[in-house]
Amino acid sequence: MSRLVLDASVALSWFIDRPIAPGALRAKQFLARGGRAVVPALWRVEIANGLVVAERRKVVTSSETAMVLQQYGMLLTQSIDSIQEPIRMQRVVATARQFQLTAYDACYLELARDLQLPLATLDRRLGEAAALAGVTLFS
């Protein structure tokens, strides 16, 4: 396995959580060993939102956010492929309904299904939906 679909929850854990969640650490090590992550276009916005929320909650400072953004920039260049083609809204809505997910999480699930790749997520509900949909979870 050389690629996986990377949920924003995992990538945010690398920079915000102390300690880093074990599943997130395994995904980070996978990328460090030359693996590639695939993300939907909304991933960048979700990362930005996670950082903004972390700042508001005083989990990180604005200067730490600036450093993290530089690190994400390097990750995007070295290890992450962003898929720009949007998933049809009808599919997103249908998947979100079927599995009681947000539309954002449905995008990750559909991307993993389309590419037949494992999904790395820390989101319990998304993980359960992936299992029900026949998508392998990265572990």
Q: Is 106 part of any domain? A: yes
DSSP result, 5-25: EE-HHHHHHHHH-SSPPHHHH
Beta bridge partners of 38: 5, 81
Q: Is 44 part of any domain? A: yes
Number of domains in the chain: 1
Q: Is 117 part of any domain? A: yes
Dihedral angle over CA of 92, 95, 97, 102, nearest 10: -60
CATH code: domain of residue 98: 3.40.50.1010
Q: What is the CA radius of gyration of the chain?
A: 14
What does each of the 139 residues of the chain score in pLDDT, given as a tens digit? 599 999 999 999 999 988 999 999 999 999 999 999 999 999 999 999 999 999 999 999 999 999 999 988 888 889 999 998 888 999 999 999 999 999 999 999 999 999 999 999 999 999 999 999 999 999 8
Q: Is 139 part of any domain? A: no
Q: Which domain holds residue 82?
A: 3-133
User: What pLDDT shows up at residue 1?
Assistant: 55
